[in-house]
Amino acid sequence: MISLQHITKTYETPAGAFNALRNIDLQITAGEFVAIVGKSGSGKSTLLNMIGGIDRPSSGSLSIGGASIHGLTHNELAAWRGRSIGFVFQFFQLLPTLTVAENVMLPMDFAGVLPRSARRSWADQLLERVGVADQADKLPSALSGGQQQRVAIARALANDPPVILADEPTGNLDSETSAEIFRLFGELAADGKTLLVVTHDPEAATSVSRTITIVDGCVA
């Protein structure tokens, strides 16, 4: 599902070139639940951004689901990302003026994968899937942190992408809620989704099928 070959990412800074990723080779199969761990600044989030098409490598090649994304134009990449990748963030990133259901429908509006008449029904199904269907018509501010993260996961699933990327998704949650979120991720992987999760939580990382440790931009 995910193939990285000799991926290097170099940023130019006032102090000179900084190698955030160094010659990364990585293969991840469909349905794997992978934790990416390492110290702050090791390159974990940069790696996730490469896979998600948010950033481009300085050299090397990568393909997701057989698509070579490093050669796509900006518009092609945005369209591909909307169909193929679901993102979950530490700070939820829910729009505060939209209801929970409207937040989940937003990626559908951008990608146009479903007809407009079917979007609310699909959003309700996703919210049921993550256990917050009863919150559909509330604003995010009325929900707990754990509930908001469940909504964010439902939004990530809106266009039924094969790959889910999560960057510190439990960083703002207590240990019990964190465990619930990782159990939900495990269920999604069992359903065939490929999940990559950047985490500092050593206990949560024990529930994954594989752990990849990044040290100074390299797979250790």
Answer yes or no: are the C-beta atoms of 24 and 4 closer than 8 Å.
Answer: yes
Give the pLDDT confidence of 138-150 residue by residue, as tens digits.
Answer: 999 999 999 999 9
As a whole number of angstroms, the distance between CA 150 and CA 43 comes to 26
Q: Which of 56-70, 136-150, 202-216 has the highest mean pLDDT?
A: 136-150
Give the pLDDT confidence of 113-124 residue by residue, as tens digits.
Answer: 788 999 999 999
Torsion of CA 100, 54, 30, 206, to 10 degrees: -70
As a whole number of angstroms, the distance between CA 153 and CA 29 comes to 21
Tell me what percent of the residues of the chain surpass a pLDDT of 70. 98
Domain ranges across the chain: 30-56+84-219
Res. 87: pLDDT tops 70: yes
Widest pairwise Cα distance in the chain: 53
How does the average pLDDT of the chain come out, rounded?
91
- What is the reported pTM? 0.90
Task: Indicate the CATH number for domain 30-56+84-219.
Answer: 3.40.50.300
